[in-house]
Chain A
């Protein structure tokens, strides 16, 4: 399927989606979608601000204005988060390598993203003579557009859900998976052997890791009984004795799912240690080789936005979304909790990048097919068991946990032993 056709289909399916709940909630700003009764002022603050701007407009225009404000807010917030992330990443990588990182621009390097942006904007935009000009131009646009549309379904706070879809999780992963197609577009359109190789790698990686990524969150959907992000977050509300939240990551299948999800998310967003499509030492800059100036910046931005979106989804699916970790901390607005969790995951991404060397392509696919996919499949079983035994109480609760833990740890140990057999432990001898 050619990318253009594919893009058209996504657009069509977007149009065909049932938008009425979202519209209804936007039309009636005083009725809160999740039906929560108490709503602190801080909690409603973003909505109040929005209504202060659009409140005077007549009905249909108001809906349009509200949607536009939501879009602009998402783009602005995540674009500035992207800028801060690039700086934080370079600073943290520097500190891990015992050097200060960028510290010349502005106060301690704060203005570094601005300087980078100006530099990117003023660079010459080069298109190779033999390139497919249209696709070469479209690739970064499509990539960024697809990265941004995934943000639509993430619940950022109790009342901050841009679009409420019944199959929001499916929508998210459909749009997220399509970003790899844009990378293939870039690689093919550049007419450069390195770009094309990178594009092939990107597809191999996509096919390998899409499966564990999707399988990993199925137990969560089973537990929540819903494919809507709001429903999944609502299912994680409440605390055991006010301290232990009902987050999915704190259940055995949820934890296993979370780990598999994060590994696959690393691969999906082309982050180190799975950044094979742009392996500098082998493929120059992979699919970015023939891109310069602002188009390059768009690719870069899309990579970070994809990382943010996947982290946001991980927060929603496994880490309780916008729910506070303790009942006593609920007075802090829900969107702050979401932001804290999101940042924690993003820092985790950076930490992982600072630690692990890049995998080889055979190691990459081997890890996916021989380890993550079987584990994720077994995790489906664990999830099913966990869902079927929700009514067990008392002594049976211990049995339930024991069986679930065995189902999670047993396959991990067995598969790990088999997985390692030929490769580890390694001894290194220095010449």
Chain B
């Protein structure tokens, strides 16, 4: 009958109107500055440096090997390794600058870092009045705790932890045979099972 479609349409809009007051599935608006959304885990924008422990600068995992600086396609990382008074490298960066106005978020620095020291951040509210110094992040701005890393990329951080733990275990296992080498010679390990 003519008109039933119109009534159906009116019912749909009425349902939406009422539903928007009590049904969060319908009313999906997030009022952003007041209500921050949880970003998806895989979101990334600019890199940051992970530190372990309490001290941001002392705890940095970065050893200033400069691999990331060399690999970064737009060359936005600038590193000066720290040296102690005798001139030996302390395996810490003295300067670690990252220009986020140049960075293209490619994540290559993260891929190449052998120490899992640099990871992608999710902090996007970086608007500033000074486009030169305001967008050039220094060592102090970049250092963020491992806990923060866990909070933004939980899955990835867990994997990284496993890899680091594995590496540590291997390092210890390597260090051990140096001292008690004899028992290992007495009892040779079982030959590996033949592959099936």
Which residues of A are at the interface with B, using a C-beta cutoff of 8 A? 92, 95-100, 103, 351-352, 354-356, 412-413, 415-417, 419-420, 424
A180 to B12, CA, bound (A): 33
In the complex, B6 has a CB within 8 A of chain A: yes
Pair B9/A355 contact, Cβ less than 8 Å: yes
Which among B9, B10, B20 is the interface contact of A98 at CB below 8 angstroms? B20
Chain B residue numbers with a CB within 8 Å of A99 are: 20, 27, 29
Pair A97/B16 contact, Cβ less than 8 Å: yes
A355 to B9, CA, bound (A): 6
Instruction: List residues 10-55 of chain B with CB under 8 A from any CB of chain A.
Output: 10, 12-14, 16-17, 19-21, 26-29, 31
In the complex, B3 has a CB within 8 A of chain A: yes
Instruction: Say yes or no: A416-B28 contact (C-beta < 8 A), given A96-B16, A355-B10.
Output: no
Please give the distance in Å from A345's CB to the nearest CB on chain B: 15
A150 to B141, CA, bound (A): 68
Pair B17/A92 contact, Cβ less than 8 Å: yes
Question: What is the total number of residues of chain B having a CB less than 8 Å from a CB of chain A?
Answer: 20
Chain B residue numbers with a CB within 8 Å of A413 are: 1-2
Q: Can you list 8 A-B pairs, Cβ within 8 angstroms, ordered by A?
A: A92-B17, A95-B20, A98-B16, A98-B20, A352-B10, A413-B2, A416-B2, A419-B2
Pair A98/B26 contact, Cβ less than 8 Å: yes
Tell me the dominant secondary structure on chain B's binding face. Answer: helix
Pair A417/B16 contact, Cβ less than 8 Å: no
Pair A351/B10 contact, Cβ less than 8 Å: yes
A195 to B29, CA, bound (A): 37
Pair B2/A412 contact, Cβ less than 8 Å: yes
- Extra inter-chain contacts (12) besides given A96-B16, A416-B1, A424-B5, CB under 8 Å: A92-B17, A95-B16, A95-B17, A95-B20, A96-B17, A351-B10, A355-B12, A412-B2, A413-B2, A415-B2, A420-B2, A424-B2
Which among B1, B6, B29 is the interface contact of A356 at CB below 8 angstroms? B6
Chain A residue numbers with a CB within 8 Å of B20 are: 95-96, 98-99
For B9, give the chain A residue with the smallest CB separation: A355
A352 to B16, CA, bound (A): 14
Chain A residue numbers with a CB within 8 Å of B2 are: 412-413, 415-417, 419-420, 424
Please give the distance in Å from A65's CB to the nearest CB on chain B: 45
A415 to B1, CA, bound (A): 10
A407 to B2, CA, bound (A): 17
Chain A residue numbers with a CB within 8 Å of B27 are: 98-100
Chain B residue numbers with a CB within 8 Å of A95 are: 16-17, 20-21
Chain B residue numbers with a CB within 8 Å of A412 are: 2
Pair A416/B31 contact, Cβ less than 8 Å: no
7 A-B pairs closest in CB distance = A416-B2, A355-B13, A95-B20, A96-B13, A355-B9, A96-B17, A95-B17
Chain A residue numbers with a CB within 8 Å of B28 are: 98
Pair B17/A356 contact, Cβ less than 8 Å: no
Pair B13/A351 contact, Cβ less than 8 Å: yes
A95 to B13, CA, bound (A): 9
A356 to B21, CA, bound (A): 22
Chain A residue numbers with a CB within 8 Å of B5 are: 424
Of A92, A95, A103, A416, chain B has the most CB atoms within 10 Å of the CB of A95
